[in-house]
Structure 1
Amino acid sequence: MAKIKSKFVCTDCGTESPKWLGKCPGCHAWNTMVEEKETVVKTQGVGLRMVHTKEKPQSIIHIESGQEPRIETKMQELNRVLGGGVVPGSLILVGGDPGIGKSTLLLQTSHAMAAKGLKVLYISGEESVRQTRLRADRLGALTEMLFVLCETNMDHINDAIESIEPDFLVIDSIQTVYDPNVQSAPGSVAQVRECTAHFMRVAKIKGIATVLVGHVTKEGAIAGPRLLEHMVDCVLYFEGERHHTYRLLRAVKNRFGSTNEIGIFEMGEEGLREVSNPSELFLSERPLGVSGSTVVASMEGTRPVLVELQALVATTNFPSPRRMSTGIDHNRMALIIAVLEKRIGMFLQTQDAYLNVAGGVKLDEPAVDLAAAVSLASSFRDAPTKPYDVIFGEIGLTGEVRAVSRAEQRVKEAEKLGFKRVIMPEKSLKGWKPPESIEIIGVNTVAEALKAALG
């Protein structure tokens, strides 16, 4: 008889314990231990035989090197995020809020891959084949080489992979797939871990590019143990407000390209459309000649993006002023306010301060410090900023402006969109020649930047 045992597994890191614990000993998270009843079944070692390739160790200098072959899709924004296209044999994990458009994105991608003559197998565990066909009719994703299957049993999925032999495989979603040899509910830690490990072996041995759709928790992280993000080659997050039309596809891990790359799409009636110029999109509704509004040149991976930064400073009615930020780290905002108080002499202890990045973009690089400082000072003094200025630079605690990376790309993006001046760190002007059509103002301190921006 199979032996039934019970254990408690952390949903964040996968740490196992024979008894329930309030605090996980592995990742120190609270209330993440859940009970798992698992039946230990003696199998015939099918999984072990799949990974046995009979290869011998060889010297690294004798291994052939070269660029990984890639399959380019028709969606250039997706190619950018993946680092140039889909790598055969790669395992990609896509997460996002419910209803954000993950299935729409992957069905359009599957259609684009099938249109190139590749065999694509789309396995849906949440929708029937008829529902998938209705979505495909709406998106215009009807191709002979696109095969659809509604299945959640791992054994049946293996049979379909053996019969179709696809070049591109989509599992929507990994939380619905279950292995009959693991007696846990679908979506549990044990099931998700075992199923992901199986698809990883299939992708590496058969050379099938595989995409797994993962549910997210209420905190926004991909559900299941963090082990999943270590197993896969690429982790993508599909972000955006459900009530807005724009969606951001962000790479937080990529073994075949740079991380923090973003692709921007617009959701329409016929699916997702690419946005080729995100800077123009984020600045389309920017007011001119008002206080507290500046434009910052930020780098998202290898792409420069111009974003509007808005600040509002108003007298508080409470003993302690409020500090709220959207799109920028709250601690970074507190640091900038402290520098303005100490080094510039602004009395902000009786002022509420609000900082917002227009368009829903999250900026996490220090190059946005200088633009945030100018926005706060502009709102505090009620002095309008010049509408055709772009500002970027890192601020130190002594009030100095430090150099940032890729200044040349930021300036070229500002020039392309018709801006007249760039206020930037003077130390970032070394090693390249600025274009003649745009004025460059190099500054060394926050005081110099405020004088140049606000007069």
Structure 2
Amino acid sequence: MAKNSATFVCQSCGAVYNRWKGKCEACGGWNTVVEETGGAHPMAGPVATRPSRAKGRIFPLEGLTGEIKEAPRTAAGMPELDRVTGGGFVKGSVILIGGDPGIGKSTLLMQASAALAKGGHRVAYISGEEAVAQVRLRAERLGLADAPVELAAETNVEDIIATLSQGRPPALAVIDSIQTMWTETVESAPGTVTQVRGSAQALIRFAKTSGTAVILVGHVTKDGQIAGPRVVEHMVDAVVSFEGDQGHHFRILRAVKNRFGPTDEIGVFEMSDKGLREVSNPSALFLAGRDLAAPGTAVFAGMEGTRPLLVEIQALVAPSPLGTPRRAVVGWDSNRLAMVVAVLEAHAGLRLGMHDIYLNVAGGLRITEPAADLAAAAALVSSLSGSPLSSDAVYFGEIGLSGSIRPVAQAPARLKEAAKLGFTRAVSPSSRDKADQPGLSVGSIGHITDMVANIAAGSPRRKAVAGRREG
């Protein structure tokens, strides 16, 4: 009998060592190397049953031209979820979804499973973290107890595959979560790198052979990354993140990787006492309740994939009693804020070095595109001067290091969304692809100093000085 050899595997990146190390040399993580007993490789079982052959099988090679078939999809019945997946679940695909604890992953998947099951499809929900009674309690709270969803609490991958193989193949199988699964071909504890990789590989093989769409729920680390080896993200067909702040009731479903659809689409949901409610017009929801007369607020016309989105950017600039002023950012890149502040100081003559700066994207949304530079700069100048911006104006544009305002993509879609919500003015860089919108006047600016001069002209201090001069 062969003796099992002990190996040391990094739980963050999957690097293997022959002895313990305090710091992983591959990813730089501390205290992530854990001893695992070397057992059979996850592929040892299936490979051992194959007949050996002296030479490989010759397969045909085809060219780029030929018949193109669209991948068959099964619509989930939830438009926001179908938007992110590219029109529905592709048969035989595997989706890895991650998110913070308590963000609503299980609620979303329960609603999607119930919608598919009510449409006549076979759906299986396998829970490795909760008992069957707990899942039923959640379904009853959501009003989905009457949905014909097949439910089980199991963690053994071989038993799960054998059970799902009985009868007609399910249209959808939800595994909650992959970190709790274990396979008999690997001798290590559940949740380790080897077990997660082996369990995911077995479930992916089942999905490809049966045509069942499989959704794997993954835990996330403190950095927001899906826990486990990164190789699992390469093995699956799509990686989806469920984002949001538990202090807000908005939730964003975003595709990070998708082999059968776009990766720049988002789905917007609102958490309620009856579960997640789809938001068809997120711009009106993000702008609800904003203070129109307060300085330091600007409306940004952004894009999330093909969907235009209007959000409010709030800024507060206050004198700092500290030697090193604070820079606090929520929902935007802090490095981007530092660049905008440097440009305002160098080219617009503003003195922000002795001020605390706080920037917030209202609603818990996170903005990543550089088109938000102009809106953030407008909010900063408005807060510093005490001059409120026009409540019927939107801002978008990228700021260069020279102070120039550079054009951004999809300007017509941004202007169309602003006109639909009743805005009458748009401040943006000059561009050739702008489309005229009825009732919307577009003010093009070429340098950051033009915007600062326009905002400073409406400052209460300047108006008071002008009034004393006239008197």
TM-score (norm. length: structure 2): 0.91
State the distance in 1 between where 2:290 and 2:25 align: 49
Preserved contact between residue 118 and residue 145 of structure 1 (Cα < 8 Å): no
Following the alignment from structure 2 to structure 1, what is the Cα–Cα distance between the partners of residues 215 and 435? 43
Partner of 1:56: 59
Q: Deviations over 1:348-384 (max 9, x none)?
A: 1111111111111111110000111111111111111
Contact persistence 1:2–1:41 (CA under 8 A): no
Query: What is the CA-CA distance between 1:121 and the residue it aligns to?
Result: 1.2
Task: Find the residue that maps to 1:163 and give its secondary structure.
Answer: coil
Matched to 1:223, the amino acid is A
Paired residues of 1:114 and 1:143 also in contact (CA < 8 A): no
Q: Which residue of 2 aligns with 1:414?
A: 418
DSSP-derived class of the 1:225 partner: coil
Q: Quick one: which amino acid aligns to residue 367 of structure 2? A: L
Q: Quick one: which of 414, 422, 427 aligns to 1:423?
A: 427
Residues 34/346 of structure 1: CA separation in 2 closer, same or farther (3 Å cut): same
1:237-264 residue CA offsets vs partner (Å, 9 max, x unmatched): 1122334322221211112222242211
Q: Spell out the pairing of 1:80-91 with structure 2 (5 A cutoff).
A: 80-91=83-94
Q: Displacement of 1:49 after TM fit?
A: 6.8
Partner SS, residue 23 of structure 2: coil
Q: Following TM superposition, by how much is the alpha carbon of 1:36 offset from its aligned partner in structure 2, in angstroms? A: 1.6
Amino acid at match of 2:123: V
Q: Are 1:172 and 2:185 matched, yes or no?
A: no
1:318 to 316, 322, 330: 322
Contact 1:238/1:249 (<8 A) preserved: yes
Aligned with 2:127 (options 114, 124, 127):
124
Q: What does residue 34 of structure 2 align with?
A: 34
Amino acid at match of 2:371: A
**1:186 equivalenced with 2:194 (yes/no):** no
CA deviation vs aligned residue, 1:114-162 (integer Å, no higher than 9, x gap): 1221111111111222222222222232456421111111121121121
Aligned to 2:350: 346
- 1:3, CA displacement in angstroms? 2.5
Q: Deviations over 1:265-321 (max 9, x none)?
A: 122222111111111111102101211100001111221110100111111101121
Give the drift of 1:177. Answer: 0.8
Counterpart secondary structure, 2:310: strand
Q: Write the distance in 2 (CA, Å) between the matches of 1:431 and 1:355.
A: 30
In 2, distance between residues paired with 1:85 and 1:356? Answer: 34
Change (3 A) 1:431 1:44: closer
**Partner secondary structure for residue 337 of structure 1:** helix
> Do the aligned partners of residues 328 and 144 (structure 1) sit closer, same or farther apart at CA in structure 2, a change above 3 Å counting?
closer
Task: Give the alignment partner of residue 92 of structure 1, picking from 86, 92, 95.
Answer: 95
Distance 1:385 1:161, change over 3 A: same
Q: Determine whether 1:371 maps to 2:368.
A: no
- Residues 1:41 and 1:366: Cα distance change in structure 2 (over 3 Å): closer
SS at match of 2:225: coil
Deviation at 1:5, TM superposition (A): 1.7
2-side partners of 1:209 and 1:48: how far apart? 27
Residue identity matched to 1:441: G
* TM-score using structure 1 length: 0.94
In structure 1, C-alpha distance between the alignment counterparts of 2:356 and 2:289, rounded to whole Å: 25
Amino acid at match of 2:81: L
| CA-CA distance at 1:44 after TM superposition | 7.0
Structure 2 gaps of 5+ residues are 458-471
**Conservation of the 8 A alpha-carbon contact between 1:424 and 1:441:** yes
Over 3 Å counting, the alpha-carbon distance change for 1:432 and 1:295 in structure 2 is closer
Task: Classify 1:47/1:291 alpha carbon distance in 2 versus 1 (closer, same or farther; 3 Å).
Answer: farther
Q: How does 1:14-413 map to 2 (within 5 A)?
A: 14-40=14-40, 45-46=45-46, 56-61=59-64, 63-142=66-145, 145-164=148-167, 165-413=169-417
Indicate if the aligned counterparts of 2:296 and 2:315 stay in contact, CA closer than 8 A.
yes
CA distance in 1, matches of 2:355, 2:136: 56
Q: 1:42 to 1:22 in 2, by over 3 A?
A: closer
Q: Which residue of 2 aligns with 1:441?
A: 443
What is the identity, as a one-letter code, of the residue corresponding to 2:174?
V
- What is the alpha-carbon distance in structure 2 between the residues aligned to residue 194 and residue 42 of structure 1? 5
* 1: CA distance, partners of 2:434 / 2:308: 17
CA distance in 2, matches of 1:296, 1:398: 22
- Determine what percentage of the aligned residue pairs are the same residue: 49
CA distance in 1, matches of 2:412, 2:249: 32
RMSD: 2.1
**Gap change, CA 1:68 and 1:44, over 3 Å in 2:** closer
In 1, Cα distance between equivalents of 2:48 and 2:212:
19
5+ residue gaps, structure 1 = none
- Aligned partner letter, 2:365: V
Tell me, in whole angstroms, the C-alpha distance in 2 between the residues paired with 1:421 and 1:431. 17
Distance 2:77 2:193 in 1: 35
| Structure 2 counterpart of 1:23, one-letter code | K
Query: Cα 1:157–1:392, aligned 2, differ >3 Å: closer, same or farther?
Result: same
